[in-house]
A = this chain, B = another copy of it.
Amino acid sequence: MDINIKIVSEIDTTIGYHYLAHEESGGHSIFIGSVRNSTQNETVHELFFEAYESMALLEMEKIAKEASQKWNLQKVIMHHAVGTKKVKEPIVLVGASSAHREACFEACRFLIDTLKERVPIWKKEFFENKKVWVTPHP
């Protein structure tokens, strides 16, 4: 299986299919996360992302390999942005390709769910009058 993993300053949202396409793949599932204009009813102006880059890359690679053990995939892509991101700007792109659609859908969901649980990247939310590191409670 081919894996493409990157920490970038700008996510290129157009390349998902180009990377995932494979002659054995009939299905390609792509998820893109972006900044939305509010969280818990408060207006968000921008987000700032910080990564422990060496570890984030290793952790994404582990997640991609776990996905390829759970499902029969041809390719996996995981890109995450760092720095300041405004509303509508993409933050993360993950995707997987497989012969049939069930596997790529489930794998894609696993990639983003597990990335959010484990990859050492931190988000600071900038509201009108305050900024806070998001520290999810379990």
A residues contacting B by CB (< 8 A) are 13-18, 20-38, 87-88, 90, 99, 101, 104-105, 108-109, 112
Contact = CB atoms under 8 A, between A and B. Distances in A.
A66 to B, nearest CB: 19
Within the oligomer, what is the number of copies of this chain? 2
Contacts of A109: 101, 105
Q: Top 6 A-B pairs ranked by shortest CB distance? A: A14-B14, A13-B17, A26-B36, A28-B32, A23-B37, A30-B30
Contact of A16 (B30, B88, B99, B101): B30
Contacts of A20: 32
Contacts of A38: 24
Given A36-B99, A99-B36, A105-B109, A88 B21 contact: yes
